[in-house]
A = this chain, B = another copy of it.
Amino acid sequence: MPPKRNYGQFCSLARALDLVGERWTLLIVRDLLAGPRRYKDLMDGLPGIGANLLAARLKHLEETGLVKRSNPQFANKAYMLTDTGRKLEPALVALADWGQFLLEHPQGKDLWLAQWNHLALKARFKAEKAAGLDEIYAFQIGDYAYYLWVTNGKLVTGEGRPPKFQCLITMEPEPFIKVFVDGSLELEEAMNSGLLELEGSQEAFQRCLGLFTGEGG
């Protein structure tokens, strides 16, 4: 094994990039921030990575203590972040926040996964609008379920269906993208045509929308 390439600078940014600055690495962390993932799950969300590279990255992340394998007692073995790895979230949110202006409207043929909303929504979350709120908003986008829990002016997100919620939004990915991502479909229209199914409190849904810049999600 060749001596890993590094910047040789006594600077915490350079050190951080020595660890997670290689191609794909931060995207792997992004996907693991949404929850534990198996090798195959990661492959599916990272088209083009190549099996060897993903394996190498995971091994490196494991060796450096950012990723661990879930306890075999649980269902399928999977990769998940350690506490150290999870602490990267603010940095990823900051980068995602910066990168929002690069999301041009015509989506082209890029991949889009509902699980990326965890990061995208944290980047767009307006904490000052959440004061005093304590609500849970559930989403079902295609077969991917997640929820937003707003409490203490903070946004916590999770996967799956929460035990209780103020409202539940059910949509297929295509209309979701059109309404909340590229804005090519009006929210009103989606609701009228049944592409957006809302269960629970209409007012909670409106409050949810208000927590993010333009629209919500």
Instruction: List residues of A whose CB falls within 8 A of some B CB.
Output: 7-19, 21, 23, 26-27, 30, 47-48, 84, 87-88, 90-103, 107-113, 116, 119-120, 123, 177, 181
Tell me which residues across on chain B come within 8 A of A108, comparing CB atoms: 10
In the assembled complex, the CB of A157 is this many whole angstroms from the nearest CB of chain B, namely 15
Assembly CA distance A47 to B120 (angstroms):
35
Tell me which residues across on chain B come within 8 A of A116, comparing CB atoms: 9, 11, 13
The one of B14, B23, B96 in contact with A13, judged by C-beta atoms closer than 8 angstroms, is B96
Question: Main secondary structure on chain A at its contact with chain B?
Answer: helix
Given contacts A13-B95, A15-B99, 18 further A-B contacts (CB under 8 A): A8-B48, A8-B111, A9-B116, A10-B107, A10-B108, A10-B177, A11-B30, A11-B116, A12-B97, A13-B99, A16-B95, A17-B27, A21-B26, A84-B101, A87-B98, A90-B98, A93-B94, A94-B94
Assembly CA distance A108 to B177 (angstroms):
50
Q: Are A30 and B12 closer than 8 Å at their CB atoms?
A: no
Q: Are B48 and A7 closer than 8 Å at their CB atoms?
A: yes
User: Which of chain B's residues has its CB closest to A13's CB?
Assistant: B96
Tell me which residues across on chain B come within 8 A of A8, comparing CB atoms: 47-48, 109-111
The one of B19, B94, B107 in contact with A91, judged by C-beta atoms closer than 8 angstroms, is B94
Interface CB pairs A-B, < 8 A, 10:
A8-B47, A8-B110, A9-B27, A12-B99, A12-B103, A13-B27, A13-B30, A17-B99, A21-B23, A21-B26
